[in-house]
Amino acid sequence: MVEVLDCVAQHYPELELWIAWNQPMFTHHGTYIIGFSAASKHMAMAPERATMIRFEQVMREYGTDFGTMLARQPWTKPFDYELLDAFVQDQLTEKQGTTSF
């Protein structure tokens, strides 16, 4: 999980890492971009619901396990950095100019 957080911080230096609700998340100008959580079998990426809806078909095609609010990345498989990048890019585009959480 630390590798993923470091990757986001390196590729998106404009994002700020926060710990809220005991989970790491990244914000931009005070607005939520993406959060992460760890479970015994997976790490979850959680952009906002609208982003999950936009990427639902892509996740189905790639066989990504997901729910309404998060995409699950099993610890036993390589992490999908391409999907993570797509989520962050989508969130940054959608929330451009937004300054509230």
> Is residue 8 in a domain?
yes
Q: Give the pLDDT band (50/70/90) at residue 71.
A: very high
CATH number for the domain that contains residue 66: 3.90.1150.200
Contacts of 46 (CB under 8 A, 6+ apart): 34, 35, 36, 37, 69, 70, 71
22 within a domain of the structure (yes/no): yes
Place of tokens 């300054």: 99
Q: What range defines the domain where residue 56 resides?
A: 2-91
Q: Let me know if residue 23 belongs to a domain.
A: yes
Average pLDDT of span 54-73:
96
Asked if residue 41 belongs to a domain, the reply is yes
- What does the pLDDT look like over 20-58, one tens digit per residue? 989 999 999 999 999 999 999 999 999 999 999 999 999
Task: Provide the number of structural domains found in the chain.
Answer: 1
pLDDT one-digit tens code per residue, 77-101: 999 999 999 999 999 999 887 776 6
Q: Is 27 helix (H, G, I), strand (E, B) or coil?
A: strand
